[in-house]
Chains A and B, each alone.
Chain A
Amino acid sequence: MPAEPVSSSLPGATAPAMTEALEVPGSHKPDPILIADGIVRRFGGLTAVDVDHLEIQRGLITGLIGPNGAGKTTFFNLMTGFDSPDEGSWSFDGVDIGKMPSHKVARAGMVRTFQLTKALSRLTVIENMKLGAMGQAGEKLWAAPFRFLWDREEQAIEQRADELLVRFKLDHMREEFAGTLSGGQRKLLEMARALMTDPKLIMLDEPMAGVNPALTQSLLEHVKGLRDEGRTVVFVEHDMDVVRDVSDWVVVMAEGAVIAEGPHAAIGANQQVIDAYLGTSHDKALDFGEDA
């Protein structure tokens, strides 16, 4: 069988072809942005994550799926410095970021969102957005009281925030407290706020969970938009329709380990994946006796 590119929908120049040769767990990608090696995280006797090797291709949308308790969110927490593994090393964009505190990981360009949205309730939507901008001079204590030191920068940030609010259709909520937003709007706000940091890699933890179906489509378009502007996206998702719709590449985790990866079409047919989701004995002939 000839190896043919599966991600033909991509702007070809930026996204290298992902071939079937790569459809082995832990395969080497042409241009990986995130490389994880031997990541082990134990909670007491339970090994929550045990990823031998995983590479995330730059410029693609990678979906991370797996049954409940597969260790997807824990893996997110480990990669972004919100938790530290018992063993293992990982690098982002060529830089070793193991043992790096979470805020430095974000500064390096890997920014995450949370499964339970963290909208800052008693800040307005625009304040939430402006908080996202990196390296603000006005966030230094000594400069804070003197407006002329950060006024110009603040205006530039506000303009960028307003543009993103329009793009995410939140501009009419600009002055409202973020706590008054609906669940879906909070997801949008969190994604927009993460974009204020101008990340190279954005990690979305269940971006569609709890979002009303009418909003799902627009959220999906936003996720695709991230890739189209050259960012790498990794997202955790349970809804298979969503995964099929947006992901260029799918990584399947079960019981802490990566058991399969490939384009979604190949994943659906993968025996190990079926086993992980449905149990190992489902494909045996069902035997209810002769007269069943």
Chain B
Amino acid sequence: MDWGLILAESARQFIGPQAVYFAIAAIGLNIHFGYTGLLNFGHAGFLAVGAYGLAITVDQGGPWPLGVVIGLLAATVFALLLGIPTLRLRADYLAIVTIASSEIIRILVRATSFPGVGDQWREWTGGSQGINGFNRSFYSINPYNDRLLGFAPVQLWSITVGWALVFLSVLIVFLLMRSPWGRALKAVREDEDAVRALGKNAYVIKMQSLVIGGLFGALGGMLFVLNQGSVQPTPQDLGTPKTFFIWVAMILGGTARLWGPVIGSMIFSGLLSFTDLTLRAMVAEGYVPEWLMDGVQVGQMRFILMGLGLMLLMIFRPQGIFGDKRELALDAR
């Protein structure tokens, strides 16, 4: 087993494109759940509207900056559609509605036609094939020509843009959360009625949080599909599994912490790669007997191991890497 190779590749994944788009998506989810207490179980829906907004615009001949704007607008509209009927109700309703609507988005873009536009719909969304090749204009401005740290030039470009966006996102969250607005957000998380009794419109505060967190989700979705080079309406890419991986990354780092989602995403991405490579090497070298596990099953096994790791974390450090245990003990209202 070549430990050097395994560790080097895991270290790359620690800061690689996957860690980056998870981080930005998790920053958005952290605004929803960590700071405002909104149970958003459909974060993949925000990734999807961002990704498709960008991909369709560029595929139809628009410039990619316009695609980014359209993706963000689509996420805003999606957040408003989700929030208007549910935010007046108890928190659990939002959870149910978000999980359903993220699936609705994914199934809609897979559809072959759409009322009003007919078969034209499929030409825009690409149906179950998705859309390819929309990232060329983004990579055409790539200044890198050589490999660095084992990253190819195109990866270097997405990592550079990605980390710049991560730092910008963290800065925005920092500025927002130290303000009286951030205080009101956290107060809504603790008790909405108390906030109302103090003359603040809790509904508006929750809506603002839903939109802003959704914008970060959409941005994460765009980075994801730009790096992947294609957008496909599969569950792994833009469905419920993706939502829960983002949840895992956020909880790993610690909720309602500025750097929690970023560090959590790095660990999630790095560990996933490490377990994958290690298991594969063990199977290839014959340390694991064929009847127990073959190379194909490694893909599932690494998620089982991640799940085990998460359980251990919840038992021994329930507040996540950065969380404050003191704060967790106060959870009972």
A binding-site residues for B, Cβ under 8 Å: 80, 82, 101-104, 106-107, 111-114, 118, 120-123, 127, 130-132, 134-141, 143-147, 150, 154, 177, 179-180, 193-194, 196-197
Structural contact, A122 and B201, CB atoms closer than 8 A:
no
Structural contact, A103 and B330, CB atoms closer than 8 A:
no
Structural contact, A102 and B327, CB atoms closer than 8 A:
no
How far in angstroms is the closest Cβ of chain A from B172? 7
Structural contact, B181 and A141, CB atoms closer than 8 A:
yes
Give the docked Cα–Cα distance between A143 and B176 (Å): 9
Check B142 for interface membership: any CB of A closer than 8 A. Answer: no
Task: State which of A106, A111, A121, A138 has its C-beta within 8 Å of the C-beta of B180.
Answer: A138
A111-B199, A122-B190 known; A140-B181 Cβ under 8 A: yes
How far in angstroms is the closest Cβ of chain B from A75? 16
Structural contact, A118 and B199, CB atoms closer than 8 A:
no
Q: A118-B194, A136-B180, A177-B326 are in contact. List 7 more A-B contacts (CB 8 A).
A: A82-B197, A101-B196, A123-B190, A141-B208, A144-B180, A144-B182, A146-B175
Give the docked Cα–Cα distance between A150 and B175 (Å): 12
Task: State which of A114, A118, A145 has its C-beta within 8 Å of the C-beta of B172.
Answer: A145
B binding-site residues for A, Cβ under 8 Å: 172, 175-176, 178-184, 186-187, 189-191, 193-202, 208, 212, 326-327, 330-333
Measured between beta carbons, the chain A residues less than 8 angstroms from B186 are: 120, 122-123, 127
Give the docked Cα–Cα distance between A193 and B178 (Å): 20
Measured between beta carbons, the chain A residues less than 8 angstroms from B212 are: 141
A102-B197, A106-B198, A145-B175 known; A118-B180 Cβ under 8 A: no
Give the docked Cα–Cα distance between A202 and B326 (Å): 33
Q: Supply 5 A–B pairs (Cβ within 8 Å), ascending by A.
A: A118-B193, A131-B200, A137-B180, A147-B179, A196-B198
Structural contact, B195 and A131, CB atoms closer than 8 A:
yes
Query: Residue on A with the closest CB to B179?
Result: A144
Measured between beta carbons, the chain B residues less than 8 angstroms from A127 are: 183, 186
Give the docked Cα–Cα distance between A291 and B70 (Å): 94
Query: Residue on B with the closest CB to A137?
Result: B180
Query: Residue on B with the closest CB to A179?
Result: B330
Give the docked Cα–Cα distance between A135 and B200 (Å): 9
Query: Residue on A with the closest CB to B172?
Result: A145
Measured between beta carbons, the chain B residues less than 8 angstroms from A122 are: 186, 189-190, 327, 330-331
Measured between beta carbons, the chain B residues less than 8 angstroms from A101 are: 196, 201
Give the docked Cα–Cα distance between A147 and B177 (Å): 11
Give the docked Cα–Cα distance between A107 and B190 (Å): 21
Give the docked Cα–Cα distance between A113 and B194 (Å): 8
Measured between beta carbons, the chain B residues less than 8 angstroms from A136 are: 180
